[in-house]
Structure 1
Amino acid sequence: MASWLKDAFDNPKPVIAMLHLSALPGDTLYDSAAGMRAIVERARRELHALQEGGVDGVLISNEFSLPYLTQTEPITAISMARIIGELVDEIEIPYGVNVLWDGRASIDLAMATGAQYVREIFTGVYASDFGLWNTNVGEVARHRHRIGADHVKLFFNIVPESATYLAERDLESLTRSTVFATLPDALCVSGLTAGAPTDTQTLAIAKSAAGDVPVFVNTGVRSHNIAEQLSIADGAIVGTTFKKDGVFENEVDAARVTELITAAQEFRRSL
């Protein structure tokens, strides 16, 4: 396993929780009557529930900026920066950011807010629910270096949600070439959509081909399957499972956080 992962998190096979921000200014679902204050207060409640439940890290994303853009408008990252600025003194664990689906904006936001990592789609060309989706990992990597953000770790989602890779290549060869040619700090393997289970066979293929690059299970982790998932993966990113009744739109339920983290801790004690 990469040494940076051991240095970044207190526990082996860390569980990183998603902190889904409500729709932001400029988004179709933004509640202009409630305004930014309501977004900040919900994020604060969820942050504290996640931290008190024992998660190892938090990943702050504009999950409710539906439908997503592949090149976001400036107002999105600016709004996220304000929210993180109001909460940063209350964040007690390693945190990252994700400006969906914009790798460059994610890195900019991380640099501006002190986030340690980002998760994004950095490689590939896809047919997606929001049109033809192209990337330019070389440009983004150079941008990260140019703004002094080499310390920001990049989590590459290599099985993106709501999209299909256009090239006819199997996951093993795709993983090997991604690791060799694009220098990811970690890889994420997902199911079809947020909350959808990640196939363990798919996860195992990516893990076997990734070499020393950590592989995270990115969707569908639950208390009953986290031991199985972490027996393969180097960590987990968890969002929907932590919500009340396991419903994507709901707020974080502290009891569900505790339940999953307890299961993760039981598994990690066996390592």
Structure 2
Amino acid sequence: MSWLKEVIGTEKAIIAMLHMQPMPGDPYFDKAKGMKWVIEKAREDLDALQEGGVDAIMFSNEYSLPYLTDVKKETVAAMARVIGELQPEIRIPYGVNVLWDPKASLDLAAATDAKFIREIFTGVYASDFGIWDTNCGETVRHQRAIGAENVKLLFNIVPEAAAYLAARDIKQIAKSTVFNCRPDALCVSGLTAGSATDAGILDEVKKTVPDTVVLANTGCRIDTIEKLLQIADGAVVGTTFKYDGKFENQVDRTRVKAFMDVVKKTRS
């Protein structure tokens, strides 16, 4: 049995993304509407996801485009406010994802009692955001220093909008990451949010590290989730839950419920 059962309550877990609107410091923050509007939009998505039956939620600053790899303090503060105001209404386990800064994600998790974070912890990449470097050893030491050792670390090993500077086989990456860094889960992604996870790559990763939780991380749809869950231990789902399946839209409760009905049938 994996930690998913203990922390989230089920194997083959579906972690739903809750994409926060642009916040103070973000280029597209709506100053006229302010933080109250950001909180209200997050509340609407939270209600839709919970009523639709997802297993867990991951709060993310998905609309802080273009992303930073050294996130500013105002972003973490704003995210903490949103989660803090919504906390009395949260009925299921949740995690956080401060794009793309693992230390900031840990800080937010520690402040909000989040159960897990997802980040790029390892590797050096050529990305849309420039040269993208990481320091997993430093990050894990920071995790221990702030008392967040119980926060599960979900390693995205196929970064969105980025590629390894040196050509590396995905099986080598999975094997060395598990040996060197002891991730709680490996996340296998497509090119961007909403882009399909390659089932072949997902299968290669799972077979290479069968004792590690492996999650399908992007592009899971109602017509593909059954096949993906035959391979993966669970999935992180965002875009397909939104009205018309579009990244920029809010969550559609009807789409969530229909998707989760398929998931529950697959589990049974």
TM-score where L is the length of structure 1: 0.98
Distance 1:258 1:83 in 2: 25
Q: Which amino acid aligns with 1:118?
A: I
The offset of 1:211, in angstroms, is 3.0
Q: How many residues align?
A: 268
Letter in 1 for 2:45: E
Q: Is the aligned partner of 1:189 residue 2:179?
A: no
Q: Where in structure 2 are there 5+ consecutive unaligned residues? A: none
| TM-score of the pair, normalised by structure 2 | 0.99
Q: Secondary structure at the match of 2:235?
A: strand
SS in 2 for 1:18: strand
Corresponding residue number in structure 2 for 1:7: 6
Cα deviation digits, residues 11-38 of structure 1 (max 9, x gap): 2200010000000100001000000000
Deviation beyond 3 Å, 4+ runs, structure 1: none
* Structure 1 segments unaligned to the other structure (5+ residues): none
| Shift in Å, 1:82 | 0.5
Which residue of structure 2 aligns with residue 150 of structure 1? Answer: 149
8 Å Cα contact 2:4-2:10 kept in structure 1: no
**Distance in 2 separating the partners of 1:122 and 1:84:** 23
1:193-212 CA distances to partner (integer Å, 9 max, x unpaired)?
00000110010011111231
Name the structure 2 match of 1:245: 244
Name the SS of the counterpart of 1:159 in structure 2.
coil
Whole-Å Cα distance in 2 between the matches of residues 225 and 183 of structure 1?
Answer: 29
2:54 match: 55
Contact 2:60 2:97 in 1 (8 A): yes
1:223-242 map, 5 Å: 223-242=222-241
The one-letter code sitting in structure 1 at the alignment partner of 2:155 is F
- Counterpart in 2 of 1:90? 89
Tell me the equivalent position of 2:112: 113
1:148 counterpart SS class: coil
Residues 121-270 of structure 1 aligned to structure 2 (within 5 Å) = 121-269=120-268
Query: 1:89 offset after TM fit, Å?
Result: 1.0
* Identity within the alignment, %: 57
Can you list the C-alpha shifts for 1:56-100, whole angstroms capped at 9, x where unaligned?
Answer: 000000000000000011000010000000001111111000000
CA contact (8 A) 2:194 2:239 kept: yes
Question: How many Å apart are 1:10 and its aligned residue?
Answer: 2.2
Residue 9 of structure 1 aligns to which amino acid in structure 2? I
